[in-house]
């Protein structure tokens, strides 16, 4: 099995790459080669359970696609994107990366003699506007950002290429993913992550989101587990529902701060300043507060338990890298 990870030096991609190099398999399928694409180089274990090759470049470049598809690919994890705030400020770059480069990738997949499985990271941002308190898979999608619009387009392309048999497309809509290890990037997910990361590293944090704002989040481990589980399902099972929400844990900034406070034994006021940002708050307000999926839950893809569990997971990651 020849597997490609796109965005392999990013937050999700690097963790997926580490998992695959460690396991050397996806379910019962043994990896023969793992291809890791990013515009930046990444650091991976010297000893791996399969052959690992890094390719540095931009998916928008034809030479990069030529190199990746020099031999057939069996599985693609598409974890690369221009994120919400950047896509809002640089419209053309967001469109090129999130939509046009995806079309080029799908066309390379279509030209293979055997269709690859393509696992895609969609987003909670495909939903917006007036939403019910609980957002499941079948709620109408009305994105309020360019990033969310790009993800809706991608979901529909995945479904259409799959309908024709060109790929076996499968997607999870991700809530806000924590805890990004830094350095700070300014993305929405990183600003939420900083509520956990910075105090646990001994730094004060400025929260740009109102303390009582409800948000749906998921740990990076739950994301990886969800994608690996989704990859293990038979094509017949996913044919009628190729995209589903990754169930999230609903938290608030003050709830995250309280969990950190319990771990550190310090009062919240000693490490958090509240300074709401209208643009960030508008984006957060437009996203689902309670995010779930009966389909995903039926497949064994579930949410994190508590905010304290998110804190504990980050502490465990920090200790493992010490």
Quick: pLDDT tens for 38-86. Answer: 998 777 766 788 899 999 999 999 999 999 999 999 999 999 998 888 8
What count of other Cβ atoms lies within 10 Å of the Cβ of residue 43? 10
Kindly report the number of other CB atoms within 10 A of residue 310's CB atom: 26
User: CA-CA distance, 59 to 222, in Å (whole number)?
Assistant: 26
8 touches 14 (CB < 8 A): yes
Structure tokens at 108: 């390379």
Mean pLDDT computed over every residue of the chain: 94
At residue 21, the pLDDT reads 92
Instruction: Judge contact between 288 and 216, C-beta under 8 A.
Output: yes
Closest CA to 299 of 117, 137, 103: 137
Whether 44 sits among the annotated catalytic residues: the reply is no
Lowest mean pLDDT among 20-24, 40-44, 100-104, 197-201: 40-44
Number of H helices, E strands in the chain: 13, 16
Least confident among 26-30, 62-66, 305-309: 26-30
Q: For position 160, what pLDDT does the model report?
A: 97
Q: Which helix or strand (DSSP H or E) is residue 278 part of?
A: helix 278-285
Domains and CATH numbers, the chain: 2-175+220-245 (3.40.50.720), 178-215+249-289+305-321 (3.90.25.10)
Round to whole Å and give the CA distance between 284 and 140. 18
pLDDT top residue among 322 and 38: 38
Q: Using DSSP bridges, classify how beta strands 205-207 and 168-174 pair: parallel, antiparallel or unpaired.
A: unpaired
- In angstroms, the CA 253 to CA 98 distance is 29
- Whether the per-residue pLDDT at 168 is higher than 90: the answer is yes
pLDDT at 161 over 70: yes
* Catalytic-role residue among 77, 120, 127, 147: 147
Q: Where are the beta strands (DSSP E) in the chain?
A: 2-6, 25-26, 29-30, 33-38, 51-56, 75-78, 117-123, 134-135, 168-174, 176-178, 205-207, 215-219, 243-245, 249-251, 272-274, 290-291
d(CA 136, CA 291) in angstroms, rounded, equals 6
pLDDT reported for residue 150: 97
β-partners of residue 173 are 122, 245
pLDDT on residue 322 = 60
Would you say 224 and 279 are in contact if contact means Cβ atoms under 8 Å apart?
Answer: no
> Which has the closest alpha carbon to 150: 117, 102, 185?
102
pLDDT at 167 over 90: yes
CA–CA separation, 305 vs 251, rounded Å?
11
The answer on pLDDT for 268 being more than 90 is: yes
DSSP string, 20-62: HHHH-EETTEEPSEEEEEESS-----SS-SSEEEEEES-TTSH
Residues in the chain, total: 322
Q: Could you give the percent of the chain with pLDDT greater than 70?
A: 99
Q: 205 phi and psi, to 5 degrees?
A: -135, 145
Going by C-alpha positions, the residue among 228, 212, 231 that lies closest to residue 220 is 228
**What value does the mean pLDDT take over residues 236-251?**
94
Instruction: Round to whole Å and give the CA distance between 77 and 172.
Output: 11
pLDDT at 19: 93
* Full-model pTM: 0.93
State mean pLDDT over 94-120.
96
Q: How confident is the model at residue 210, as a pLDDT? A: 97
Would the pLDDT of 270 be above 80? yes
């Amino acid at each position: 099995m020849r597997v490609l990870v796109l965005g392999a030096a990013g937050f999700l991609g690097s963790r997926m790459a580490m998992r695959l190099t460690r396991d050397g398999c996806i379910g019962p399928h043994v990896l023969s080669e793992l291809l890791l694409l990013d515009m930046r180089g990444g650091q991976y274990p010297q000893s791996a359970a399969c052959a690992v090759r890094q390719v540095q470049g931009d998916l928008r470049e034809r030479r990069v696609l030529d190199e990746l598809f020099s031999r057939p690919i069996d599985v693609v994890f598409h974890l690369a994107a221009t994120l919400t705030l950047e896509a809002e400020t640089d419209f053309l770059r967001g469109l090129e990366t999130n939509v046009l480069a995806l079309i080029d990738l799908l066309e390379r997949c279509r030209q293979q003699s055997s269709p690859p499985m393509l696992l895609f990271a969609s987003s909670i941002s495909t939903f917006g506007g007036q939403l019910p308190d609980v957002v499941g898979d079948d709620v109408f999608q009305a994105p309020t950002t360019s990033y969310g619009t790009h993800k809706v387009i991608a979901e529909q392309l995945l479904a259409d290429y799959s309908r024709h048999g060109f790929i076996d497309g499968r997607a999870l809509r991700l809530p806000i993913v924590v805890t990004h290890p830094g350095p700070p990037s300014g993305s929405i997910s990183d600003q939420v992550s900083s509520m956990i990361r910075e105090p646990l590293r001994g730094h004060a944090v400025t929260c740009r989101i109102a303390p009582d704002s409800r948000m749906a989040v998921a740990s990076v481990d739950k994301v990886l587990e969800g994608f690996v589980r989704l990859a293990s399902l038979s094509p017949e099972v996913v044919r009628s529902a190729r995209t589903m929400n990754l169930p999230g844990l609903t938290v608030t900034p003050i709830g995250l701060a309280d969990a950190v406070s319990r771990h550190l034994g310090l009062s919240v006021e000693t490490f958090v300043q509240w300074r709401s940002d209208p643009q960030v708050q508008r984006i957060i307000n437009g996203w689902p507060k309670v995010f779930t999926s009966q389909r995903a839950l039926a497949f064994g893809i579930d949410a994190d338990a508590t905010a304290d569990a998110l804190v504990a997971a980050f502490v465990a990651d920090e200790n493992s890298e010490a």
